[in-house]
Structure 1
Amino acid sequence: EEDIKKVYDEEAKKVQETERIRARHILVASEKEAASVEAKLAAGEKFEDLAKQYSLDGSKDYGGDLGYFTAPEMVPEFSKAAFALEAGKISKPVKTEFGWHIIKLEDRKKGAAQPYDQVKAAIRNALVRQKVQETLASLRDVAKVEIIDEDLKKVAAEAEKQRRALQEKMKKANVGTPGEGTPADAAGGDGSGKGDLLIPEDGSSN
C-alpha cells in the first residue's frame, strides 16, 4: 500500500505541474495572407469566422479550435507563442514548418490528477507486473550462467579426452621393446630417451 501511494503522489505531482491550454488558430500559407487576416481581426471581425474562411487546417470547421493541449504536443514555435498569451488575447503571425499561424488563447489550466481510489488498483497491477518482470530477468541471468558453466564442462571434458588419446598415441610410437610402454621403458629403462634407438658413438650399428 505504501509503494502504491508513493507512485500515486509522484504521478499526481507531474500531472498537476503540467499546464494545458485551449487555443484557436488560423493557418495560412504566406506572411502576406497572415497580415491580411490580422487586419480583419483588428477591424473587429470574429476569429471563428475568419478561421472557417481562411484557415488551411482541419480545425477550421470548428472555428480553429484545437481543444486543450500541452506544450510538447505542438511544434516549439507554436507552443512558445500560444503559452505566452493571456486568455482572450491574439498573437502576432507565427511562422512554423506548416505555414503562418495567428493564435487566440481561450483558456489555461493546470492538470488534475484522478482520485487515488480510482487508480489504486491500476497502480498495484503495474507494480506487480514490474516485479514479475524483474524476477524473470534475474532468473534468465542465472540460467545463462548455468548454461555457460555446462558448456565449459563439455569443452573441458572433450579437451581431456583428446589429451588422453594423444598421450596414448605417443606411448605407442615410442615403445621399442616389450614392456609396460612407459617413456622410461621405451628409453631402455634409464629414462635417457635413447634405448633401442641408441646409435653407438662410432657409428656402428652392432
Structure 2
Amino acid sequence: MLSRTGSILVPFFVTWLLGCSLLEPEPLLLIDGRGYDPRPPEALAGTTPEVMDAWLGQSIDFHLLYHQAQRVLPDLYRRYLVQALLEAETASVRLTNQEVMNYLHPRYGRKVAELDLRRAAHILLPGDASSDAGGQEQVHREAEALHARILAGEDFATLARTFSRDTTYDRGGDLGYLRRDAVVKPFGDLLFSFSELGQSGVVRTEYGWHVVRCTGTNETFRAELFDQLLKEKKRRLVAHLLERLREESTIVMAKDFERVGL
C-alpha cells in the first residue's frame, strides 16, 4: 500500500517541483530564506569579476541593513516608505500662471510681476500728539535706543514682544506683506526705502514712534507665494490619492476599536 502510494506520489511531486522551477526561477541571492534578484547596472556590464564581486558585496550589505531596519525601526521604516511614496506621487506637480493669478487677483488685483511689496516688523512706542516737545523727544530717544540694540544684534521679535504697544507685539511685531498705499505715508516712505532684508530705521507717525525693520521684499514674496501654492496643490493631490485608495480598498475595523472611540 505504501509502495503503491509512493509510486503515485513521487512522479507527481517531481512534476510539481519541475513546474515550480519553470514558473518561478531560482533567485540569484538568498538572505535568511528570502530571494532577491539584484541586477547590476548597465555601467558594470563587461567589467572584471573583481568589480562584480564588489558590487554584489555592496548589494548584500544593503539588503542586510534593509532587513535590520525593518526589524529594529518598523515604524520609522513605514513612515519613510510613505514619505517616499508621497514625494514620488507629487514630484511632477507644477504651478500654472493661471493658478497664480487666481490667488493674486482677489487679493491684490494685479500680476505678481507688477506687485511692489515689503514685509515689515515694527515696535510701536505711542506718543501723544498733544504732549509737549519734551515728552515727544523722550519717546523718540527710547525708540532710538531700541534701534541701537537691534543694530547691535539683539533679537527684534524679542524686543517687540517686550516693548511694543501695538497689537502685533505677540507675533514679534510682524505686519506681513504691505503695499505702500496700505500704510500711513511716513511709515511707507521709510519702509519702501529699504531694498534689502534686515534694513531698519525709526520714524514718527500719527500713532507714535516706530522702529521698523524690512523682513521681506518682492523676491521673498514671490518665493514664499510659489512655495505656499505648490504645497497646497500637492496636498490636494494627496487628498485625491487617499480618496481613490479608500474607494478601491475594503476596510474593516475590529470591534475592539470601539473601546478607544474610533
Report the TM range for the smaller structure's normalisation: 0.3 to 0.5
| Higher Rg | 1
